[in-house]
Chain A
Amino acid sequence: MFSIYITSFIVGGLICVIGQLLFDVAKLTPAHTLCILVVTGSVLDGLGLYEPLIDFAGTGATIPITSFGNALTHGALAEAEKHGLIGVLTGMFEVTSSGISAAILFGFIASFIFKPKGSV
C-alpha cells in the first residue's frame, strides 16, 4: 500500500526527466515536448502498456501529461469494443472529460480574479 507513494514519486519524476531531456538535449519548445509526451501516452495505451503502469505507479502515471494521451485512447478503445469503428470517434473524451472541463472552468474563473504580474 505504501509502496505506491514511492513508485508514484519515482515514475512521475522519471517521466518529467524525459521531458527535461527533450527540452535541453533535443532543444524542443515546451509545446513540442508536451505533444510528444501525449502521443507517447496514446501509443503506449494502444500497446496495452499504460494501464499496467498506472497500477504500478498510481498518480505517478496519471498526473503526467502522457496520461492524457492514454485516457483519450482508452476511451476510444472502450467504445470501439462496444460499438465498433464508430466508437473510436464517440468514445474519445469519455475518460478525459474531467481534466479538460476542470481546466476550462478554473481558467475562466481565474480570469475573473487574477491579473498577470511581471515579477521575477
Chain B
Amino acid sequence: MDKEKYAKLEQEISPKAPLLKNVIKAFLVGGTICLIAQFIALFYMTFFDFTERTASNPTVATMIFISMLLTGFGVYKKIGQAGGAGGAVPITGFGNAVVSAAIEHKTEGFVLGVGSNIFKLAGSVIVFGVFSAFLVALIKTILVKMGVVSW
C-alpha cells in the first residue's frame, strides 16, 4: 500500500473530532469564564476606585490567580479537556500555560527549571503579540504622519 492510499484509509478510520459538540462546549466554557470575569470586574468597580476600563487590569490578574489554583489542583486540565478552546483562549488558559510549565520544571530547580521554562508554552504568544503590535503601530504611525489616517 502506498502512502497516499494509506493516508486515505487513515482518514476513513481515525475518529473525527465531534465538531458541533466541541464548538458548543467551547462556547459555553469560554463564555462562562468571561462572565465570571465580568462579575469580578463588578466587584472591583463597586468596592474599589476602578472604572469600567481600569477594572480590566485587576480582573485579569485575579483570573490568572484563579487559574493558578485550578492548575495546581489538577482541575484546569479537565476544563481544557472538556472546553477545548473555551479553556485555552481566555486569559486563564494563558495562566494555565505559564503555571503548568512552572510546576512541571520545578524538579530542575528554580533557575534552570522554573525560570527558564515558565514561558515554554506562553512565550510564543508574547513574541507574536509584541511583533504584530510593533508592525501594526508602526504602519499606523507612518500612515498618520503621511496624513492618510488620523489617530
Give yes or no for direct A-B contact (beta carbon below 8 Å): yes
Whether A12 lies near B118 (C-beta < 8 A) is no
Q: A65-B125, A108-B114, A108-B118 are in contact. Are A103 and B151 (CB under 8 A)?
A: no
Bound CA–CA A67/B56 (angstroms): 10
Residues 102-151 of B at the A interface (beta carbon under 8 Å): 102-106, 110, 114, 118, 121-122, 124-126, 128-130, 132-134, 136-141, 145, 151
- Whether A68 contacts B22 in the complex (CB less than 8 A), given A59-B37, A63-B63, comes out as no
Closest to A21 in B: B23
**Which of B100, B137, B145 has the most chain A CB atoms inside 10 A of its CB?**
B137
How many chain-B residues does the 8 Å CB contact rule pick out? Answer: 78
A64 to B39, CA, bound (A): 16
The residue in chain A whose Cβ has the minimal distance to the Cβ of B68 is A106
CB 8 Å contact bits of A1-12 with B (1 = contact, 0 = none): 000110011111
**Please, which residue of chain B has its CB at the minimum distance from the CB of A34?**
B125
Q: How far is the CB of A106 from chain B (nearest CB, A)?
A: 4
Could you list some 22 contacts between A and B, CB below 8 A?
A5-B39, A17-B30, A19-B85, A19-B89, A34-B124, A38-B125, A42-B132, A46-B140, A62-B59, A64-B90, A76-B134, A77-B140, A80-B140, A84-B141, A88-B138, A98-B58, A99-B64, A103-B122, A106-B64, A106-B67, A111-B106, A115-B106
Question: Which A positions have Cβ atoms within 8 angstroms of B?
Answer: 4-5, 8-25, 30-31, 33-35, 37-39, 41-43, 45-46, 54, 57-60, 62-69, 72-73, 75-77, 80-81, 84-85, 87-89, 91-92, 96, 98-104, 106-111, 113-117, 119
- Residues of B participating in the A interface, judged by any CB pair closer than 8 Å: 17, 19, 22-23, 26-35, 37-41, 52, 56-61, 63-65, 67-68, 71-74, 83-86, 88-95, 98-106, 110, 114, 118, 121-122, 124-126, 128-130, 132-134, 136-141, 145, 151
